[in-house]
Amino acid sequence: MKASVESVAAEREVAGLDIAPECKQMNYMQTKQTSPMHNKTPEERKAIAAKSHAARRANREAREAERREALKRADSLYQHIAQLEERLASLQHMETFNYVSATMTSRRLLSADEIVKVALPWKQASGIYFLIDGDSVVYVGQATNVYSRIAYHSDKKFSHYAFVPCDSEALNKVESLYIHYLRPKLNGEYLDGSKYAPISMADLLSTGSTEKGKK
């Protein structure tokens, strides 16, 4: 029986179960002395902890940036797909109407891009306009917006029109010159047969002579 007790005691000692307290303390001290932080000052330990915290934060921020970039790429892809689907629908719409147009008129419709390419710049055309009937200029007028002004002449008989661009400051002079030069039949006349115009023929000729003399 005694031998069995001694055998059990030996096994416990080998297994480290009956290590004396002073031996345990020694092992703790040895572990403590081999720890990387053992020989560090409080300031160094604080710096190491701060560096570790900064590294973890940098890693988190990097993962978040990667996540945002992935979402951005996905959003860009969705937008591209939506644009392609819209383009496809537009082409199908155009094909439908081109078929109808070809059936009805034997011509295809212009696309919006084609219309825009041949578009002319719009501005209110200031100038002298001419109403034409057959081969004759029957009326001369002036306007700062020729297109809208011609529409007011529905009481006059004409089939075509033309106009000469002119700055608004020179409208009276240029209109008067054309009226006296062309003598259109629908422009009014004075009793002496001269045409109504902003500037009389006499004044025009006088001004012309004065300007010629200066040269």
Through-space distance between the first and last CA atoms of the chain, rounded to whole angstroms: 150
| pLDDT value at 168 more than 60 | yes
- Could you give the angle at the alpha carbon of 17 between the alpha carbons of 15 and 21, nearest 5°? 130
Local structure of 162: helix, strand or coil: strand
More confident residue, 112 or 181: 181
The pLDDT of residue 22 is 52
| pLDDT value at 6 more than 70 | no
Q: What is the CA radius of gyration of the chain?
A: 50
The pLDDT of residue 2 is 44
Q: What CA–CA distance (Å, rounded) separates 129 from 149?
A: 9
pTM value?
A: 0.48
Q: What is the pLDDT of residues 52-95, one digit of tens each?
A: 888 898 899 989 989 999 888 989 999 999 999 998 998 888 88
Q: What are phi and psi of 17, to 5 degrees?
A: -85, -20
Q: At what angle do helices 171-182 and 201-214 cross, to 10 degrees?
A: 110
Q: Which domains does the chain have, with CATH numbers?
A: 19-119 (no CATH), 127-214 (3.40.1440.10)
Beta bridge partners of 127: 143, 165
E runs forming strands in 79-144: 127-133, 136-143
Q: Is the dihedral of CA 199, 202, 203, 205 positive or negative?
A: positive
Among residues 153, 96, 107, 113, the alpha carbon closest in space to that of 130 is found at 153
Q: Say if residues 187 and 203 touch (Cβ distance below 8 Å).
A: no
The pLDDT of residue 213 is 57
Largest distance between two CA atoms of the chain: 162
How many CA atoms, within 13 angstroms, populate the side-chain half-sphere of residue 122?
A: 3
Q: What share of the chain has pLDDT > 90, as a percent? A: 33
